[in-house]
Structure 1
Amino acid sequence: MQYSVRPISDRTAFAGHHRSSPFQSSWVASERLLLAEVKHLQGRDLVLELDIREQDLRLDGTLRANARPASPAVRVAFESVHGPLTYATDRFSSWYDNARAIALGLEALRKVDRYGITKRGEQYSGWKALPAGRAMPASHMTRDDALGVFGVWGRALPALPAIPAEHVNTDPDSLRGMYRSARRAAHPDRNNGDQTAWDQVEQAAAVLGVTR
């Protein structure tokens, strides 16, 4: 299963107090566990958010080898058989241990179903949330809205006029290219710290099913 790595979009779940981890696992093992647990939930559109800068990501959306997250905070979001789910923690002092903690939490929640205590995945209801940002809930953003966002922010050059939604090329490769351009143009570092445009771009990508 492929997944995207992105800078953290919502910090409200983080306490800022860290402790030593009880885990002794590599990131490779933790990544394998996380992907397996998401797969059990018929997961897709998996996003791993870390406390990084946009320049810490390669063009293909993977983390650069020399990237050093500013904090160990981790947020995981994905679509599942129970709807959109999101989990976040910064309890432990390394981001890969926090990612493992989320994976183990998913495993524990799955065991509730295994023993027949629930019937409709009720144990996931506390974590149901759209992984999009604050500007417009993804459930309220239509496909035309999303294409319009790409038309504004996904141009090859910022000075070019916006592209009307009906004229946006919906070929998957074209949309991926527009997504990359939109992320660069809408980044808060280029917009006086304003997160709104960035959130809209991420929501539009989720609506259109675009990954980098």
Structure 2
Amino acid sequence: METATTPRRAGRGGRERILAAAARLFATQGIGATGMEQVAEEAPVSKRTLYAHFRTKNDLVMAHLHDLISSGDTLESVLTREDLPPRERILRLFDLPSPDAAPVRGCPFIDAAAEFPDPASAVHSYAREQKLRMVRLITTLLTELGCRDPAALAEQLATLADGAASRAMVLDEAGYGRHARAAAQLLLAHSLPE
């Protein structure tokens, strides 16, 4: 029973709490292993509130991925930083989370695509869009740097970045990106004008 001195819980912020809870759970146990009831508990919100914001789990996953992009909390977000020169933006793709971030997580878009393997699904399609966007951003930066074949090199660098993120996650080794960064430096030195 609520009295005059009992603090009322604000009715706002449910969506944000749900997305924050989903992000934590998806990162620690994966999308497939996370149930909607668990997200509601973690948020904490009622199931009614959860389903008022997200009718299905697919809707929640899509909102989570959109939220990652808008928050800038992705590997690719470094590519749009105006405070860094183009070459440095590219090399920062290989700087994985700090060693105190445990466990090391890979790319959330690769994770989502793996958990939604049907290429026609909305989640898989969105993950693909983000991976193609990453290559376009790298291509633009390489063009600015005067690269001889920016599209081919962009694919190679994106492959290195995704591979490093995946291996870092599998090995739970935050510093793993250093190997891909060294390879990227060689590719850049070979492909860019002096």
Both structures adopt the same fold (TM-score exceeding 0.5): no
Looking at secondary structure, tell me which structure has more strand per residue: 1
Q: Which has the larger radius of gyration?
A: 2
Q: TM-score band, normalised by the shorter chain? A: under 0.3
Compute the TM-score of the two structures, normalised by the length of structure 2.
0.24
